[in-house]
Amino acid sequence: MLDQQDIQSLKALLLSQDESNQELAFVLLEAMPLGPAADVELAKLLCRSPNGLLRCIANGWKTLLGTITHLHFDHEQLTELPTQELPFLAALQELVLHNNRLASLPQNMGILQELKKLSLYYNPIAEAPKSLGNLAHLRELTLVGCSLKTLPSEIGSLANLELLSLIDNDLTELPNSIVELRQLRKLILCGNNITSLPEELSRLNRLESLDLSDNNLNSLPVELTQMSNLKFLSLERNYISKKEQRRIESMLPHTNVFF
């Protein structure tokens, strides 16, 4: 069992800019029959790169991995997430994967029940797994530039979602289930190919900001007049006539509308 001095020495090795020192820390830990005990700071240092995370998983360090609450991997060339071992990360609250090479997300993503924020920028995943709907505590879902053509209807089960950002995808429509996101405050859909909105979108009565810029819209459903909390609406670079613009402004007099 490592004492506090041993742990501090390992942390110093991991903090070193010398890769040989970082490797030494792993080798020393791998020589321990029971692996490292739970230590939040040590876990962060070991898992600050995809290779470190995968090595911890390969060693079966469940206790250590169970302390990880945040993972941020930007421009790391990450190509996949572990599937079978994903339960090791059950305490994860925030997963940010920007500008990697993920071609898909694990189908069992819904097992991360503590997750509050999931953010992917420019990973060509093409499809969001249905199990995202099981992320009961998720508050922020960002899938930007992920080549999405559709969204699973299960997304409507995200009862606590407050922010949904789907910038720069290939969406042509929204699933009807999106109207079940009753806590949603910010919906960002710019840079898609959306041609129409469901009338039921007006049921999102907490929505404050709706960005529909750079789509293929030529009108909005009149039912949006019921969105009494909507403060910001962007419709820039769509195909909305001057007449329709005037109609939209008249039906949303308390909303800042941008054409």
Considering the domain architecture, whether residues 41 and 117 belong to the same structural domain is answered as no
* CATH number, position 181: 3.80.10.10
Q: Which tens digits make up the pLDDT trace of 82-132?
A: 999 999 999 999 999 999 999 999 999 999 999 999 999 999 999 999 999
> Does residue 8 share a domain with residue 46?
yes
Q: Is the pLDDT of residue 2 over 80?
A: no
Write down the pLDDT at residue 48: 94
pLDDT category at 1 given cuts 50, 70, 90 is low
Q: What is the CA radius of gyration of the chain?
A: 22
Cα separation, 43 vs 65, in Å, equals: 7
Which token pair is 185? 């405050």
Same domain for 143 and 168, yes or no, is yes
pLDDT in tens, 216-255: 999 999 999 999 999 999 999 999 999 999 999 999 999 9
Q: Quote the mean pLDDT of the chain.
A: 95
pLDDT at 202: 94
**The domain boundary residue, chosen from 51, 70, 86:** 51
DSSP state of 248: H
Quote the number of domains for the chain: 2
Say yes or no: 116 and 14 in one domain. no
Closest to 189 in 3D by CA, of 155, 172, 156, 213: 213
Assess whether 38 and 135 both reside in one domain.
Answer: no
Q: The whole model's pTM is what?
A: 0.94
pLDDT of residue 113: 97
Confidence at residue 33, expressed as pLDDT on a 0 to 100 scale: 78
Indicate whether 65 and 192 sit together in one domain. Answer: yes
182 and 81 fall within a common domain: yes
Q: What is the pLDDT of residues 5-45, one digit of tens each?
A: 888 999 999 999 999 999 999 999 999 876 787 899 999 99
Buried b / exposed e along 37-56 (16+ C-beta atoms within 10 A):
eebeebbbbbbbebebbbbb
Q: Which tokens belong to 209?
A: 């900001």
Q: What is the pLDDT of residue 6?
A: 85
Do 156 and 127 lie in one domain? The reply is: yes
Does one domain contain both 107 and 37?
no
pLDDT band at 4 (very low <50, low <70, confident <90, very high): confident
Same domain, yes or no, for 16 and 144?
no
Residues 67 and 193 in one domain: yes
| Tokens (6 digits) for 118 | 């999931």
Residues 163 and 251 in one domain: yes
**Segments forming the whole domain that contains residue 22:** 1-51
